[in-house]
Structure 1
Amino acid sequence: MSSRRTTSVLAIGAVALFALAGCTGGNSANTNGGGGQGNQSLVIDTAFSIETADPGHTYDPTGNMIAKAIYETLVDFDGSDVSTPVPGLASWTQNDAATEFTFTLEGDRVFSDGSPIEAKDVVFSLQRIQGMADAKPNFLLGGITIAEVDDKTITFTSQTPLLQLPAILANPALGIVNSDVVKENGGSTDGSDSAQKYLDGASAGSGPFVLDTLDLSSQVVLTRNDAYNGDEKSDFSRVVVRNVTESATQLANLKGGDSMVAMDLNGDQVSGLGDSLTVDSVPSGQTIFLLLNQSPAVAGDLANVKMAEAIRYALDYDALLELAGAGAAQATGVIPLGFEGALDSGVTQDLAKSKAALAEAGYAGQTLRLQFPNDYPVGGVEFTPLAERVQSQLKDAGIAVELAPAPFATELDAYVGGTEGFGLWFWGPDYADSANFLPFGPGLKVGLRSGWTAEANPTIAKIAADAASATDASARTAAFTDFAEAMQAEGPFVPLIIPGRNIATANTVTGAVYNSVWEMDIAEITPAG
């Protein structure tokens, strides 16, 4: 069994679906805005996943990165470490029950038009999102009451303990907007908001950059916010983020000097980079896993957690990891490495344990039908070769598997609808906190997708509830660790791989590192030397 982990380190967080389209674009990395270092241009290539520049509607990787550059949040993280929230625009305190948080705006920070940031702007920004039922980040603020105390103070109240609130408020989608400006351009908190069109062409934030132009198919151009008075003032006067869907084109642009940053290179590409290029390779926040449905109506006589145990110990995880490339790691449990309560090490192959579990499950040679999306790689990991390797390894362990690939949209319906008997899927957190992984528990969202009810394992259901309602940090960590261990021992899930994330840069810049919440902090990138 895996060892216990009682302290959180690097938490790796936000998952989203990539909508890829567009072309390379111009704006060579060799251009600048006027000659001096402070007037240089920064060119970044990435495969776009962005629908708007309005933070209240954005919840996509590229959209979060752009929102982080333009809008500031109450809470921040220090660099790439998202294990511990730190003050952003505000510091905070909480009551003992973790149901009321008081945030105090710090300093004399201003928006890009020079007007001061006040509590009314915070309340409006977040209540605006609460009022827009169709806004993607709306769920982040569910059940929370937000109120202004005075010009500098805001309270957040929840009916249940919410220790994860600071981590939630670090999401760029919850960036603070200039309420006066947004109201003048259609903003409201009653659900009738129409300010998105305005915010797709102008800025109303306090971040180190302002929006110059937005083209969702080709590029986003940012320019330096001259009124910015925070501590992340950029050395670049202009930033061009280009939509380059092919990783091979991103690599060619980087090597040719047409860009400084390439965000989507795969493991094979980064392993051969020359001395003039560097790469930041780290595990992402996503987990690829197998699920074994526990509903007899779906899985028949193999609806048994012992089948999951048999498969868990039948697999050679090192061999599976070979398919993932640089930056990837074995998933040690349903809580990924680096999150609070995660296990230090994962399962290792044990064919004797696998055989014993098969006998307990009543396996008699039945063929398992493995369903998976065959047109949607996750973190550079293609599901078809992964499924084929799983099939081969299980065959060696005496388990017959038939592959049943399908397009992503088709397989998503089966997964969400709970009709997969044996599935290969992935999961990523919505914010940097281990509460994101409690849905794997019995009777919760992902558990129910695998036909696993709370009645099927009341013990784990209680552990999950204790973790969700914890008001003490140390007790909360212990509860998450108990949850991870129990899920590894008795759950219907087999965690496989945490895919890697690789960001490559020319040696002319530094500071381009992956962050699971906002992909990359553009303001932290500086000219080398």
Structure 2
Amino acid sequence: MHTRNRTAAIALGAIAALTLTLAGCSGGNSAAPSDDASSSAGGTLVVDTAFSIETADPGHTYDPTGNMLAKALYETLVDFEGSDVTTPVPGLATWEQNDDATEFTFTLEDGRVFSDGSAVDADDVVFSLQRIQGMAEAKPNFLLAGVTIEKVDDTTVRFTTETPLLQLPAILANPALGIVNAEVVQENGGATDGADTAQEFLDGESAGSGPFVLDTLDLTSQIVLTKNPEYSGEEEAAYDRVVIRNVTESATQLINLQGGDTMVAMDLNGDQVAGLAHGFTVDSVPSGQTIFLLLNQSSDVAGDLANVELAEAVRYGLDYDALLELAGAGATQATGVIPAGFEGALSEGVERDTERAEAALAESGYDGQTLRLQFPNDYPVGGVEFTPLAERIQAQLAEIGLTVELAPAPFATELDAYVGGTEAFGLWFWGPDYADSANFLPFAPGLKVGLRSGWDADADTEIADLAAQAASATDTDERATTFTEFAEAMQERGPFVPLIVPGRNIATSDEVTGAVYNSVWDVDLAEIAPAG
């Protein structure tokens, strides 16, 4: 039996486009006014953002600015509407899946064409995705692990998975999996056997079916797009030209916006957007990332304090409202390892309970030892600076009798300690790779983030089993229930203390509309149009 999925059966929730790949912003500003800047239809749209991009090749991109660019140039089989990433909808194709969620059949829509006017067909889909599978070094490569892709006929492609994969439609909405013109890319070095050399070509010329085509690309200053005259989808661009400028300082973005030099500022913090007066619109929403504390469960790392009772003491010893004050507009308290809006997320977060915290601290065996809180001090997340956050955590935990010493370090240095699992007490963050709650299962014992906290699979077999059940679920209702049970168990006795879901603020002049945050690709440039 197959189930028709024009809108997938899974309620998937909001994510963050930023992933743990954590590519940094490029240097340099290009804040000078653009030629032909205009808010009228057919004119030029100017967008300021701090670049996080390495290429215009969708098969290699995996960072926020890169995702926004790929969304504009390339269409995917699956899409999301506006800011809503709870339910996948058809993009280039509709789909069916079997009851076991191991076979997905995609049928291409009629009449879709690339920017050279040639039709999008099954060969293009198979080549595009097998190309990524063949490039082991490509960042999006892992998205299609364990997936077999084959052509059925000119308009039909079948995906077969080794295990149940209800989240496959959500995965296929990632802009990195945009469909390229196979013939054009192959003529310019494209291949599926790992010998692909097409990135240089795709950094100078796009080969997609999206609403825009690439005009110029400078990874340090600006990207210029022009309207695709052959576009045949439902998101026809309102502007003939888009200039995306690398403005690394949020203060400069604010000046440019207020001075009319730009229409969209992507990276303003909470204080900056709070100060915007009449004439501007701000979309402030939770980003989908989670800032959290981890308490290592390995005795080799944490000694006698390698126990979840210490985590419970920290969890109930914190004043979350006071921590949230540091986050600004759009931010919310993290209700668990699964952020609010995702399937299985808890409706309410922990409230401070100092009596419970002190009791757990006594049970943990704590006897006045100093805990070193390690964290990156040069990588703010969603406008949240980690140093003042760590200082406030230190002060709050002192109130329950826990002594904390702050140990900041540069991001690159601290990342090695975090990934290597050598932090006894760490302050970090996590962002999902695609729009599905399966992204948070790595916090389970024995999985990636769990192991970074020294929490092996035998440490809590019940939680490990819940994670395994959620990963292999084929019934959507049972899957949702299992994710909730997983989130509840993690919040009750896991070694992690979720703190804040930072906000994301996108500010625009009132001359434009449609610039709303989407956690997969930041903003859809084709949806931005002159107001009115």
- AA aligned to 1:381 is V
Q: Does structure 1 residue 48 correspond to structure 2 residue 51?
A: yes
Residue in 2 aligned with 1:296? 299
Residue in 2 aligned with 1:378? 381
Residue in 2 aligned with 1:427? 430
Residue in 2 aligned with 1:166? 169
- AA aligned to 2:28 is G
- AA aligned to 1:477 is A
- AA aligned to 1:322 is E
After superposition, the CA RMSD in angstroms is 1.2
Query: What is the CA-CA distance between 1:226 and the residue it aligns to?
Result: 0.3
Residue in 1 aligned with 2:215? 212
Query: What is the CA-CA distance between 1:421 and the residue it aligns to?
Result: 0.2
- Asked if structure 2 preserves the Cα contact closer than 8 Å seen for 1:147 and 1:155, the reply is yes
Residue in 2 aligned with 1:196? 199
Identity %: 74
- Asked if structure 2 preserves the Cα contact closer than 8 Å seen for 1:28 and 1:257, the reply is no
- Asked if structure 2 preserves the Cα contact closer than 8 Å seen for 1:13 and 1:433, the reply is no
d(CA) in 2 for partners of 1:462, 1:10: 23
User: Mapping of 1:381-392 within 5 angstroms?
Assistant: 381-392=384-395
Residue in 2 aligned with 1:502? 505
Aligned counterpart for 1:74 among listed residues 74, 77, 81: 77
User: Mapping of 1:46-445 within 5 angstroms?
Assistant: 46-445=49-448
Task: State the TM-score, normalized to the length of structure 2.
Answer: 0.96
- Asked if structure 2 preserves the Cα contact closer than 8 Å seen for 1:439 and 1:445, the reply is yes
**Corresponding residue pairs, total:** 520
- Any idea what SS the aligned residue of 1:39 has? coil
- AA aligned to 1:142 is A
d(CA) in 1 for partners of 2:347, 2:132: 38
Query: What is the CA-CA distance between 1:21 and the residue it aligns to?
Result: 1.1
d(CA) in 1 for partners of 2:390, 2:355: 23
- AA aligned to 1:44 is V
- Any idea what SS the aligned residue of 1:236 has? coil
Q: What are the ranges of 5 or more consecutive residues in structure 2 without an aligned counterpart?
A: 1-9
Residue in 2 aligned with 1:469? 472
- Asked if structure 2 preserves the Cα contact closer than 8 Å seen for 1:30 and 1:257, the reply is no
Residue in 1 aligned with 2:25? 19
- Asked if structure 2 preserves the Cα contact closer than 8 Å seen for 1:30 and 1:258, the reply is no
- Asked if structure 2 preserves the Cα contact closer than 8 Å seen for 1:510 and 1:527, the reply is yes
Residue in 2 aligned with 1:3? none
- AA aligned to 1:369 is R
- Asked if structure 2 preserves the Cα contact closer than 8 Å seen for 1:372 and 1:406, the reply is yes
- Asked if structure 2 preserves the Cα contact closer than 8 Å seen for 1:371 and 1:420, the reply is yes
d(CA) in 2 for partners of 1:205, 1:8: 29
Residue in 1 aligned with 2:6? none
Cα 1:359–1:29 change in 2 (3 A) is farther
Query: What is the CA-CA distance between 1:28 and the residue it aligns to?
Result: 3.4
Aligned counterpart for 1:483 among listed residues 482, 486, 489: 486
Q: Deviations over 1:419-468 (max 9, x none)?
A: 00000000000001000000000000000000001101000000000000
Query: What is the CA-CA distance between 1:297 and the residue it aligns to?
Result: 0.5
d(CA) in 1 for partners of 2:260, 2:18: 30
- Asked if structure 1 preserves the Cα contact closer than 8 Å seen for 2:41 and 2:530, the reply is no
Query: What is the CA-CA distance between 1:231 and the residue it aligns to?
Result: 0.7
- Asked if structure 1 preserves the Cα contact closer than 8 Å seen for 2:103 and 2:161, the reply is yes
Instruction: Detail structure 1 runs of 4+ shifted over 6 Å in the superposition.
Output: none
Task: State the TM-score, normalized to the length of structure 1.
Answer: 0.97
Residue in 2 aligned with 1:31? 37
- Asked if structure 2 preserves the Cα contact closer than 8 Å seen for 1:29 and 1:259, the reply is no
d(CA) in 2 for partners of 1:25, 1:394: 43
Q: What are the ranges of 5 or more consecutive residues in structure 1 without an aligned counterpart?
A: 1-6
d(CA) in 1 for partners of 2:134, 2:459: 38
